[in-house]
Amino acid sequence: MYPPGYYQAPRPSRPIGVSILAILVVLGGVLFLLSGIAILLFSAAFALGGLGIFGLAGSILGGIVLIFGIIWIAVGLGLWNLRGWAWWLAVIVMVLTILGGISAPAVIVVPLLILIYLILVRNHFR
């Protein structure tokens, strides 16, 4: 299989918490994706109904939600495959969520726990 004297470091196993987090992130991304599609469809209906400004605003919002859905699906797959870029992106999002919810301490509990967990399992990511 490998030449004599060749050492291959064992791949780090994926912690169960990372697996759960990856699945939840992908599911959240799918929800964002479906929401973006729904918003785009409703905004098209508004535009066809003569409410063009609402159609335009809905199209912009739907496009943004759609892009976030695609990004979240990619991050979830990256976390599943233990990619370093996915770890960094997840940490950045958790820090921004904590900073955004600083005025409501109850809101920052889950993102703070996720951030602490991500820092603890950092050595599993490549």
pLDDT of 76-93, one tens digit each?
999 999 999 999 999 998
The answer to the question of residue 6 being in a domain is no
Residue ranges in the chain assigned as alpha helix (H): 16-48, 52-80, 84-100, 109-120
The answer to the question of residue 32 being in a domain is yes
| Cα 43 → chain centroid | 25
The answer to the question of residue 73 being in a domain is yes
**Between residues 6 and 83, the one the model is more confident about:** 83
Question: At CA 53, angle to CA 47 and CA 54, rounded to 5?
Answer: 65
The answer to the question of residue 60 being in a domain is yes
The answer to the question of residue 98 being in a domain is yes
| Cα 35 → chain centroid | 15
The answer to the question of residue 7 being in a domain is no
Q: Is the pLDDT of residue 45 over 90?
A: no
Residue ranges making up the domain that contains 84: 16-124
- The structural domain count of the chain equals 1
Q: Is the pLDDT of residue 9 over 80?
A: no
Mean pLDDT of 48-52: 69
The answer to the question of residue 1 being in a domain is no
Interacting residues of 64 by C-beta distance below 8 A, sequence separation 6+: 36
The answer to the question of residue 70 being in a domain is yes
